Amino acid sequence: MMKKLLLSVCVGLCIEAGVAQTLKVWPGTPVGSGVTYGADVKLTLFRIATSDYDAVNQKFDAMGMDMVRVPIIAHWGADDSRYNTIKTYVNNAKANGLNVFASVANTNGQFKPNGDLDDAHGGDKFPSWLKCNGGCTTDNTGLYDVKRSKYKLYLEDVVLNKIGNVSWVGPWNEDNANPDDYSKLDFGKSIIGAELWSLSKSADEMNEVSSVIDIGGAHNYDNSSNLLLAYTDWKKFVNAGGDWFTESTLFAQSVAAGIAHMLPAMSAGIKKIIIYQTVPRVITTSGGNAPAYTAVNELIRYSKGKGAALQVETNNQNYVASAFKSGNQLILHVCNISASTEMLQINLQGYSVSTSGVSVAKFGGTTADVTVANQGKQVKVNLSANTYARIVLNGLTSSARQSFEAETDLQAQQGLLVYPNPVNQKEIHVQLPASETASKVQVRLLDMLGKVVVQQAYTGLTNFRLPLQSGLSKGLYKLVVQTDSQTYTRSVVVEQ
């Protein structure tokens, strides 16, 4: 639950606890293309009453989730009447704007006392009647001795005829399947694969099967206790072509742990995060607010639609963050999952923020004090144990832009005008001082390596426009204006 007590925003000094843990954020370095979210009910769907399908799915949609994951139960025959329940739920999800991902669930098809499907992993989730049992050719023998041809027919019947309205299918789940295990099950639906239990092995799996799947997913159970390693492994997975975090979890530990589990993946450029057992951990079976709801809703609200994540680096496995830029605002998601209050020192690389208008929302703990220091280049967060904080800071400005503004004042004093600066259109206007009587003017625009990217000569003009080529990269450039008697040099930012 979101707590208001002991929440403060400081300009100056707050009381620091312990030794500061350092994080770095690069507001000028985007990673990936943005993140979206999905829900998961593959083991808990049968807890939801039919009369509550609308409430649950409408809540998913209202939170900003755009898909839901439902089960395929291999131990059930395709004609099992319980697939009618899944079909009814899926139709309701589609009617409420959610796409559907159907995947084989890690279950033996039996039910626990609470109504969840019982656990069964590896080959135990496949019944004997789907296996070769010594009666298959080598080419038809799949992982766990599954008879590929029979499993394909089963999947096709269940997905197309019994469930329907499915956008993606996952034939394996935390299974080290090979390319043939995927390609020989293809029946025309988009396949999600590479879903290993171990994140550290997921990049290798993605490299092996990427040519025969449509979307690469990964779990993260091996690095769940060391999120410092998770930053590295998620980057490797994304670089191998991975797309989704298909089983974000840890809300059973705490709200902060559940949020923290997502942040390294988000910072690496993962495109979608599916929250495991969204019912009942985030939303109740009747569509109400479960313990993690408020924090997850805040995370989605301040990350989805905010563009690419920003590059983040941390030095401790217990203190993790992700960051986004929205206009002139810097959005930070920060978690302390240690057992003690800590001061997190976030150093902004090449940027600064304003000391005023800081907004903080805190979840799980008692304290989230924020201090903006070092002329806006450093944000200190005094964060209690097992706490997630969402922080919005205003006035995000690059150090380069600050120098431009100071230089613009100097330009005005010297009489040379270069505008607009920063440039967000197709040309730069240049006006020479009134005292300048040059008959010929040479103008060059150089990148930071000194390479001339635009060059133009003018005769008899003191006020002219320098056209910019299309496709000119954003960044810092040097404008050199040379007349008969003087050379003027100005810094220019291109934002087109």
Q: What's the CATH number where 115 sits?
A: 3.20.20.80
Domain count, the chain: 3
Task: Give the three-state DSSP class for 452.
Answer: strand
Structure tokens of 261? 């589990």
Instruction: Provide the β-strand partners of residue 30.
Output: 310
The verdict on 79 and 189 lying in the same domain is yes
The verdict on 449 and 388 lying in the same domain is no
Region 79-84 average pLDDT: 97
Dist CA 33 CA 307 (whole Å): 6
pLDDT band for 496, please (50, 70, 90 cuts): low
For residue 89, which amino acid is it?
Y
The verdict on 357 and 460 lying in the same domain is no
Where a domain ends, among 395, 426, 459? 395
Where a domain ends, among 304, 323, 357? 304
For 270-297, write each residue's pLDDT tens digit: 999 999 999 999 999 999 999 999 999 9
Contacts 24+ apart (CB under 8 A), 289-293: 291/1, 291/251, 291/255, 292/251, 292/255, 292/258
Q: What's the CATH number where 461 sits?
A: 2.60.40.3080
- Whether 345 has a pLDDT exceeding 70, the answer reads yes
The verdict on 256 and 366 lying in the same domain is no
Which single residue is written with the structure tokens 């099950």?
Answer: 185
Characterize the bridge pairing of strands 168-170 and 190-193. Answer: parallel
The verdict on 390 and 405 lying in the same domain is no
Region 56-77 average pLDDT: 98
pLDDT band for 122, please (50, 70, 90 cuts): very high
The verdict on 83 and 52 lying in the same domain is yes
The verdict on 274 and 347 lying in the same domain is no
Structure tokens of 183? 């390609």
The verdict on 391 and 428 lying in the same domain is no
Domain-embedded: residue 488: yes
- Whether 11 has a pLDDT exceeding 70, the answer reads no
Region 27-32 average pLDDT: 91
The verdict on 297 and 320 lying in the same domain is no
From residue 332, give the alpha-carbon distance in Å to each of 98, 233, 322.
Answer: 28, 22, 6
Domain residues for 205?
35-304
Structure tokens of 262? 């997502």
Which single residue is written with the structure tokens 């993790």?
Answer: 320
For residue 128, which amino acid is it?
S
Range with the lowest mean pLDDT among 48-62, 82-96, 234-248, 478-492?
478-492
The verdict on 276 and 361 lying in the same domain is no
Domain-embedded: residue 2: no
The verdict on 338 and 287 lying in the same domain is no
Dist CA 8 CA 227 (whole Å): 27
For residue 435, which amino acid is it?
S
For 296-324, write each residue's pLDDT tens digit: 999 999 999 999 999 999 988 889 999 99
Domain-embedded: residue 77: yes
Q: What's the CATH number where 329 sits?
A: 2.60.40.1180
The verdict on 257 and 322 lying in the same domain is no
Where a domain ends, among 339, 360, 395? 395
User: Of the ranges 300-304, 336-340, 464-468, 473-477, which is most confident?
Assistant: 300-304
